[in-house]
Amino acid sequence: MADGPTINTIAERAGVSIASVSRVLNGLPTRQETERKVMAAADELGYVRNAVARSLKSRRTHQVAFAMADVGNPAYLAMLRQIQPVLKAAGYRLVLHSTDAVAADEIDVLHSLGERYVDGLIMSPLRVTETHLEMLAAARAPVVIIGSVPEGTRVDNVRADSHTGVRLAIDHLHTLGRRRIAMINGPVDTVPGAARGAAYREALGDLGLRHDEALVRIGDFYRPDGARAVADLLERVPDVDALMCANDLIALGALDVLRAAGRRVPEDVAVVGMDDTDLAAASWPSLTSVSLGSAERGKAAAELLLERLQGGGGEPRVVTVPPRLVVRASTAGFEAAGPEYVHHHREEGGK
């Protein structure tokens, strides 16, 4: 682990100046003989360019940061999976920040852009505060936000359309004949929580369904919260026949409780999740879920950022990724269930 060779070491060994070494290394026009000597020396020494020095000079780090609320959340993971290869292909490294959805941490990340350890940032904040907006305006590097920001915010922005997403799900449930459709939501002071709650109310109104506050339960976005909320719901509204859950984790908690309560899914109660994570396909019954295009959003965000990094200026862009309803067993029953590679064989003698 001795001190690595630098262009100085190479220059000495090859008997040329450091400028020549640099030129060769960067593929600039050089005499063949010089090039040969330099390459030979570099090879022998096992030379590797120092990225830090390079960055200092070039003012480019070839690093991009991705700040997510929670490494454990599959929706962010889906974004990460798409972001990573796009950046890699463009020669950027990925610096990962987990902010635990703490606003202060997110502000920190925005602030730290001033340290210039990355060329840009992709961030997916759960809540967008005034301070967020101020910091965004003052950001020292290009930022792409995954999630919705207020109209007029001058920042590249990739948004999901949870409004339409909820709508798709409610329509689906309605079509299946469900009329007592509950909503198990996350905190309404979060961007997604607020949007999904509003969309639910609107959809119910449009379908002419009676509004009933007891049908709306609120907890956090995790499985035990979903379970608690649904346990509570079943007591208050025993005749509920469908659950619109604000994400898949909540929906899993719902399935746990329904199963324990002896309610059949989907016969007695149909369940829809959101985000269409891996868990949706893994659960049993598999979970009908609204894909908000996490993967697509991640990809779009990465591409938007790369454009900024390469092209430079221009007006902020807003990309909206359309939602998609993925129907599985938790609403459609077993006919729709199971991964594609399984050919069902049941006692009744299905195919």
Partner DNA sequence: TTGTAAGCGTTATCAA
Partner DNA sequence: TTGATAACGCTTACAA
Query: Interface with a copy of itself by CB under 8 A: which residues?
Result: 1, 4, 46-53, 55-56, 61, 63, 71-72, 74, 77, 80-81, 84-85, 88, 93-98, 111-112, 114-117, 138-141, 223-224, 227-228, 252-253, 255-257, 259-262, 278-279, 282-285, 338-339, 341-347
Contacting residue, 30, 63, 98, 112, with DNA by CB under 7 A? 30
Residue with tokens 């990340």: 109
Region of 9-17, 68-76, 147-155, 295-303 interacting with DNA (CB under 7 A)? 9-17
Does residue 31 interact with DNA by CB under 7 A?
yes
CA 210, 211, 213, 215: dihedral to nearest 10 degrees? 60
Region of 12-20, 181-189, 202-210, 326-334 interacting with DNA (CB under 7 A)? 12-20
Cα–Cα dist 276/274, whole Å: 6
The site partner of 31 among DNA, a copy of itself, none (C-beta below 5 to 8 Å per kind) is DNA
| Gap between the terminal Cα atoms of the chain | 64
Does residue 33 interact with DNA by CB under 7 A?
yes
Contact yes or no for 165/201 (Cβ under 8 A)? no
Contact yes or no for 248/273 (Cβ under 8 A)? yes
**Cα 303 to Cα 15, 59, 293, distances in angstroms:** 44, 21, 15
Contacting residue, 40, 43, 44, 53, with DNA by CB under 7 A? 53
Cα–Cα dist 206/326, whole Å: 22
Cα–Cα dist 193/155, whole Å: 22
Cα–Cα dist 129/271, whole Å: 32
Does residue 29 interact with DNA by CB under 7 A?
yes
Nearer to DNA, 19 or 89 (CB): 19
Does residue 211 interact with DNA by CB under 7 A?
no
The site partner of 22 among a copy of itself, DNA, none (C-beta below 5 to 8 Å per kind) is DNA
Kindly write out the interface string for residues 118-157 of this chain, putting x where it contacts DNA by CB under 7 A and - elsewhere.
----------------------------------------
| Least separation in angstroms between CB 117 and a copy of itself | 4
The set of residues, in sequence order, having a beta carbon less than 8 Å from that of 303 and lying 6+ positions away, is: 86
Cα–Cα dist 201/206, whole Å: 9
The set of residues, in sequence order, having a beta carbon less than 8 Å from that of 102 and lying 6+ positions away, is: none
Contact yes or no for 162/274 (Cβ under 8 A)? yes
Nearer to DNA, 3 or 189 (CB): 3
Nearer to a copy of itself, 199 or 227 (CB): 227
Interacting residues toward DNA by CB under 7 A: 3, 6-8, 15-20, 22-23, 25-26, 29-31, 33-34, 47, 49-50, 53-54, 56-59
